[in-house]
Chain A
Amino acid sequence: MDDTKDFGTPKKSSEKLIELNIDGIEVSVPEGTSIMRAASEAGVSVPKLCATDSLDPFGSCRLCLVEIEGKRGYPASCTTPVEQDLKVHTQTPKLADIRKGVMELYISDHPLDCLTCATNGDCELQDMAGAVGLRDVRYGYDGDNHLKSEKDESNPYFTFDPSKCIVCSRCVRACEETQGTYALTIDGRGFESKVSAGNKDFMDSECVSCGACVQACPTATLVEKSIIDHGQPERSVTTTCAYCGVGCSFNAEMQGEEVVRMTPNKDGGANHGHSCVKGRFAWGYTTHKDRITTPMIRKSIKDPWKKVSMEEAINYAALEIKRIQKKYGFDSVGAISSSRCTNEETYLMQKIVRAAYGNNNIDTCARVCHSPTGYGLKSTIGESSGTQNFDSVMKSDVIMIIGANPTDGHPVFASQMKRRLREGAKLIIVDPREIDLVKNTPHVKADFHLKLKPGTNVATINSLAHVVVKEGLLDEDFIKNRCESEAFNYWKDFISKEENSPEFLEAETGIPALLVRKAARLFAQKGNSAIYYGLGVTEHSQGSTMVMGIANLTMATGNIGREGVGINPLRGQNNVQGACDMGSFPHEFPGYRHVSDVATQNLFESAWNTELYKEPGLRIPNMLDGAISGKFKSVYCEGEDIAQSDPDTQHVTHALESMECVIVQDLFLNETAMYAHVFLPGSSFLEKNGTFTNAERRISRVRKVMSPKNGYEDWEITQMLSNALGYPMNYKHASEIMDEIAELTPQFQGVSFDKLDKLGSIQWPCNEQHSEGTPTMHVDEFVRGKGKFFITEYIPTTEKVNNKFPLILTTGRILAHYNVGAQTRRTNNIEWHDEDLIEIHPHDAEDRGINEQDWVGINSRAGDTVLRAKITDRVQPGVVYTTFHHPVSGANVITTDNSDWATNCPEFKVTAVQVTKVTQPSDWQEKYQKFSEKQIDLVKKNEEKVN
């Protein structure tokens, strides 16, 4: 279907078809379809202003009236559903007269500045004036009008000009129906009616800048500032957002090689035409002045950088890697790829390590986020991925969110979830902090908030499962037919023990036992219950155990293998799933096959024409420990900033300082690049071809919309390095890399760029049985055959509070920023969040004499930093919380090197700290400031020399 065409009202999915006649054309559409949509699908355009196919019909503009034979009056075609055998006329003299009169009234209170208007050529009001043949306006401007209404330019990305508003309510309805924020309303009645953001300007209102209102506006009332600055785009290319794991499809609207607007793609399988402030507006970083587009090398991190050609930089890097391997051994070098990279790039990163370096020292940033998801789900259900598509939530009766904050971290999916919650689905939230969905979201209120103490996830999931078992709420048929019986019996005996009861664990978790019992009963009710979880599950010393606990509870209640249920890891970055699929972990090839598996070894050795190492390689923390002990000497980081995103910053930087060749491929001189010897300039997502795989296993195309500013797509740089190392790679296009992935990876067997172009996106597995992909997994049987229950004994973290460190620090994200902030800090999103704050409960603040906005020192066993205080009861007493979007905050200076038992995923969510009032930055912050200023100078010195 044409993405750019607006059919006026939403599509209906009834299997019953209704036949009718519109303007002499026989039409057949699903029952419930509006006459407007039926006409539009048949190629008949009915004039409209208040209708758009992303919103429910409203029937206010009176422009879409039609005549129906045998019926009185002139019904609005947007609100009138089709009926069998109707005969509809959309163009009659009477209708033309009515429409012209309506348009005349609209235009009589609208500035006639079309030629200088920002939306000239893209204005529905202008189009409708043309469509109805409006030639003159009889009423003049002498009377009352709205033409001098003040324009609101407070939002950095769009303006609100009430003088151009026709009060069609599309923006208000988009804010409600599409986004679910309810920030806009219509104030007043009749002539006084006006769109209002709660009588505040947009920046001070509840508006979250998702852009839904701008997208819905049919006039220039709400318009992007980039369009005001540049004018209308001349072409559009569909691509995929480079921010969170929702993986929204966008149209990059272009003037030549410049993006002038990003608009959400209506046909996007993950986002269905919706967006958030990051994907919709925060793409300015791609052309930010900080971007480095020239390769640089230096012998020591104390030296100024030397600008060189890409060939020289690649040759220098290759010689260094070879020198180091000769001197320190073949496994003294490795690489770290990122979930910000495309599938094709991460595939090449692991290939260069395995085939050119000759070891398996490849790791990825999923190590520090969702590696426990991979381990836990592979063990229990046989596949390291979520089980559903996002649309599945619309069939859920009970939604349990554990350790995730979807409205901030995954806002577009959160909007869909909120829609389902407004329809009546029940909500259980398991989180130490009061996220917005608990009670700060309009028309949404959690039925249960299990406000657990940080670090007690496993105790909590065990107590929920205990109730299910002891109260006879098991889905016995599902367990009998779908799960391994011996493992289930072991688990049942274990979970039935009194030590797993909510009453026994109440003191440990802090959750009243009765609340746990009620939540468990709700979750296990007959119906569809689904679990959505985030890093609050994985970033613990028992992260993998908790993922297994989630799988246990899901299987025990039969909530897997159909729509509306399932296990749904919400991935932080856009391509976490894809990076893991592509063999970015040191123990497995693409497709999650262990490096010791002989058949897989043979497959890859034959395809890559080289002998491969058959032992697992080093994980990121192993690489860092190895560097400090003098055994690991070189790391090649593409798109990953371990000096900011990994725990115990001082340990990370000490390791980087201990290496002899740190190679960083990135857009910016990020924190890791300050310790680098080779800087390879990267290309942004707008400058390359490839694919991303989102949290629902959806593979989507990333399309090159402009030439790379650095001259190369990222995969080309990796290919050059491989060739310089002596292992030949000869891909001419990213599509050839995907062809190789498909040939060697069962889950991707049927995937190609051609098929993606045809279908839009594909959810793996895509193979002979499922040639167009698999939205719901484990339908008849689990990927591993029978589902396997695992015993999940609760083992408290060793990170204990005591008199010296009496509080628990936990971390999270904010809507405006993405991960370490390298991208969003270089956009106007900084206006919403220009520093990380430490949230502290009023009681804890009072005990320490801390007031709002005071500077406070946060000390842990690993280090200390200083942030401003925000006093709030969103955190519970004994718990403090911060974000990690600004490097100077040093959030990871405080976090320790404790990690998950199975995967070494850091225990970011539990750090024992003390918080005290201070007057100056920490020693680390002062040192950091000096060091980073010096490193920036070392780049500038080189520029001065060149100039």
Chain B
Amino acid sequence: MNNNLVTMANQIGGFFKSYPDKEQATKDIAVHMKKFWPPVMRKEIIEYVDSSEDNLLDDMVNEAIKKYLKD
């Protein structure tokens, strides 16, 4: 696993987490990854999330990947 991906994902989460509508913010994290991350990186981060519940991603980022990035 490329550690940069975790850092990048958490940075994206950092921007959106201050938005008042948490559900929308969670969606926006996934939308950002879909818009700017190539499939190979999305696949890698999804596999990372799937491989461990106790990972280094922030909660909202984990949720965004599980709920909105996989589809």
- Asked if A and B are interacting partners, one says yes
Chain A residues at the B interface, C-beta cutoff of 8 Å = 331, 360-361, 490, 493-494, 541, 544-545, 586-587, 594, 596, 615-619, 621-622, 625-626, 629, 631, 791, 793, 795, 897, 899, 901-904
- List A contacts of B20 (CB < 8 A): 490, 493
Chain B residues at the A interface, C-beta cutoff of 8 Å = 2, 4, 8, 11-12, 14-15, 17-20, 32, 34-41
- Does A795 contact B4, Cβ atoms closer than 8 Å? no
Smallest distance from the beta carbon of A331 to chain B beta carbons, Å?
7
CA–CA, A618 to B36, complex, Å? 9
What is the chain A residue whose CB lies nearest that of B10?
A901
- List B contacts of A621 (CB < 8 A): 4
What is the chain B residue whose CB lies nearest that of A791?
B18
What is the chain B residue whose CB lies nearest that of A360?
B38
The 3 closest A-B pairs by CB, nearest first: A901-B11, A793-B18, A795-B14
Smallest distance from the beta carbon of A594 to chain B beta carbons, Å?
6
- Does A617 contact B38, Cβ atoms closer than 8 Å? yes
- List B contacts of A631 (CB < 8 A): 40
What is the chain A residue whose CB lies nearest that of B11?
A901
Smallest distance from the beta carbon of B43 to chain A beta carbons, Å?
11
CA–CA, A616 to B36, complex, Å? 6
Q: CB < 8 Å: which of B11, B18, B19, B36 contacts A541? A: B11
Q: CB < 8 Å: which of B15, B17, B38, B39 contacts A545? A: B15
- List A contacts of B14 (CB < 8 A): 793, 795, 901
CA–CA, A544 to B14, complex, Å? 13
What is the chain B residue whose CB lies nearest that of A489?
B20
- Does A331 contact B38, Cβ atoms closer than 8 Å? yes
Smallest distance from the beta carbon of B13 to chain A beta carbons, Å?
9
Smallest distance from the beta carbon of A650 to chain B beta carbons, Å?
16
- Does B15 contact A902, Cβ atoms closer than 8 Å? yes
- Does B4 contact A616, Cβ atoms closer than 8 Å? no
- Does B15 contact A629, Cβ atoms closer than 8 Å? no
Give 14 A-B pairs besides A616-B38, A793-B17 with Cβ atoms closer than 8 angstroms. Answer: A490-B20, A541-B11, A596-B35, A616-B35, A617-B38, A618-B40, A625-B2, A629-B2, A899-B8, A901-B8, A901-B14, A901-B15, A902-B15, A902-B32
CA–CA, A360 to B36, complex, Å? 11
CA–CA, A615 to B40, complex, Å? 10
- List B contacts of A586 (CB < 8 A): 38
CA–CA, A56 to B62, complex, Å? 66
- Does B36 contact A587, Cβ atoms closer than 8 Å? yes
- List B contacts of A618 (CB < 8 A): 38, 40
Identify the interface centre among B19, B32, B34, B36: most chain A CB within 10 Å of its CB: B36
- List A contacts of B2 (CB < 8 A): 625, 629
What are 28 A-B pairs with beta-carbon distances under 8 A? A331-B40, A360-B38, A361-B38, A490-B19, A494-B18, A586-B38, A594-B35, A596-B34, A596-B35, A616-B36, A616-B37, A616-B38, A617-B38, A621-B4, A622-B41, A626-B40, A629-B2, A631-B40, A791-B18, A793-B14, A793-B17, A901-B14, A901-B15, A902-B12, A902-B15, A902-B32, A902-B36, A903-B36
Smallest distance from the beta carbon of A600 to chain B beta carbons, Å?
14
- List A contacts of B17 (CB < 8 A): 793
What is the chain A residue whose CB lies nearest that of B39?
A615
- List A contacts of B12 (CB < 8 A): 901-902
What is the chain B residue whose CB lies nearest that of A793?
B18
CA–CA, A617 to B34, complex, Å? 11
Interface of A is mostly: loop
- List A contacts of B34 (CB < 8 A): 596
Smallest distance from the beta carbon of B44 to chain A beta carbons, Å?
10
What is the chain B residue whose CB lies nearest that of A904?
B8
- Does A622 contact B18, Cβ atoms closer than 8 Å? no
- List B contacts of A544 (CB < 8 A): 15
CA–CA, A629 to B4, complex, Å? 12
Q: From known contacts A494-B18, A791-B19, A901-B15, infer whether A587 and B35 are also in contact, taking CB-CB under 8 Å.
A: yes
- List B contacts of A541 (CB < 8 A): 11
- Does B4 contact A625, Cβ atoms closer than 8 Å? yes
- List B contacts of A897 (CB < 8 A): 4
What is the chain B residue whose CB lies nearest that of A329?
B40
- List B contacts of A901 (CB < 8 A): 8, 11-12, 14-15
What is the chain A residue whose CB lies nearest that of B3?
A625
Identify the interface centre among B11, B12, B35: most chain A CB within 10 Å of its CB: B11
Smallest distance from the beta carbon of A565 to chain B beta carbons, Å?
27
CA–CA, A899 to B36, complex, Å? 15
- List A contacts of B39 (CB < 8 A): 615
- List A contacts of B38 (CB < 8 A): 331, 360-361, 586, 615-618, 622
- List B contacts of A361 (CB < 8 A): 38
CA–CA, A545 to B14, complex, Å? 11
What is the chain B residue whose CB lies nearest that of A618?
B38
Smallest distance from the beta carbon of A373 to chain B beta carbons, Å?
15
Smallest distance from the beta carbon of B12 to chain A beta carbons, Å?
6
CA–CA, A625 to B40, complex, Å? 12
- List B contacts of A331 (CB < 8 A): 38, 40
Smallest distance from the beta carbon of A419 to chain B beta carbons, Å?
39
- List B contacts of A617 (CB < 8 A): 38
CA–CA, A902 to B33, complex, Å? 9
CA–CA, A617 to B38, complex, Å? 5
- List B contacts of A360 (CB < 8 A): 38
- List A contacts of B4 (CB < 8 A): 621, 625, 897
What is the chain B residue whose CB lies nearest that of A359?
B38
CA–CA, A587 to B37, complex, Å? 8
Smallest distance from the beta carbon of A333 to chain B beta carbons, Å?
13
CA–CA, A404 to B2, complex, Å? 34
CA–CA, A795 to B19, complex, Å? 14
Smallest distance from the beta carbon of B9 to chain A beta carbons, Å?
10
CA–CA, A802 to B37, complex, Å? 33
- List B contacts of A494 (CB < 8 A): 18
CA–CA, A219 to B67, complex, Å? 75
Smallest distance from the beta carbon of B14 to chain A beta carbons, Å?
5
- List A contacts of B35 (CB < 8 A): 587, 594, 596, 616
Identify the interface centre among B19, B37, B38, B40: most chain A CB within 10 Å of its CB: B38
- List A contacts of B8 (CB < 8 A): 899, 901, 904
CA–CA, A100 to B20, complex, Å? 81
CA–CA, A619 to B4, complex, Å? 13
- List B contacts of A596 (CB < 8 A): 34-35
Smallest distance from the beta carbon of B38 to chain A beta carbons, Å?
5
Smallest distance from the beta carbon of A191 to chain B beta carbons, Å?
70
- List A contacts of B40 (CB < 8 A): 331, 618, 626, 631
- List B contacts of A594 (CB < 8 A): 35
CA–CA, A639 to B12, complex, Å? 31
What is the chain A residue whose CB lies nearest that of B15?
A901
- List A contacts of B41 (CB < 8 A): 622
CA–CA, A287 to B32, complex, Å? 46
CA–CA, A763 to B20, complex, Å? 39
CA–CA, A619 to B5, complex, Å? 13
Smallest distance from the beta carbon of B3 to chain A beta carbons, Å?
10
- List B contacts of A793 (CB < 8 A): 14-15, 17-18
- List A contacts of B32 (CB < 8 A): 902
CA–CA, A903 to B11, complex, Å? 11
CA–CA, A126 to B38, complex, Å? 67
CA–CA, A878 to B41, complex, Å? 38
Smallest distance from the beta carbon of B67 to chain A beta carbons, Å?
20
CA–CA, A621 to B32, complex, Å? 17
CA–CA, A903 to B36, complex, Å? 8
What is the chain B residue whose CB lies nearest that of A619?
B36
CA–CA, A310 to B40, complex, Å? 35
CA–CA, A187 to B36, complex, Å? 62
Smallest distance from the beta carbon of B30 to chain A beta carbons, Å?
14
Smallest distance from the beta carbon of B19 to chain A beta carbons, Å?
6
Smallest distance from the beta carbon of A82 to chain B beta carbons, Å?
60
Smallest distance from the beta carbon of B16 to chain A beta carbons, Å?
9
CA–CA, A544 to B20, complex, Å? 20
What is the chain B residue whose CB lies nearest that of A616?
B38
CA–CA, A818 to B17, complex, Å? 39
CA–CA, A902 to B18, complex, Å? 15
What is the chain B residue whose CB lies nearest that of A626?
B40
CA–CA, A901 to B10, complex, Å? 9
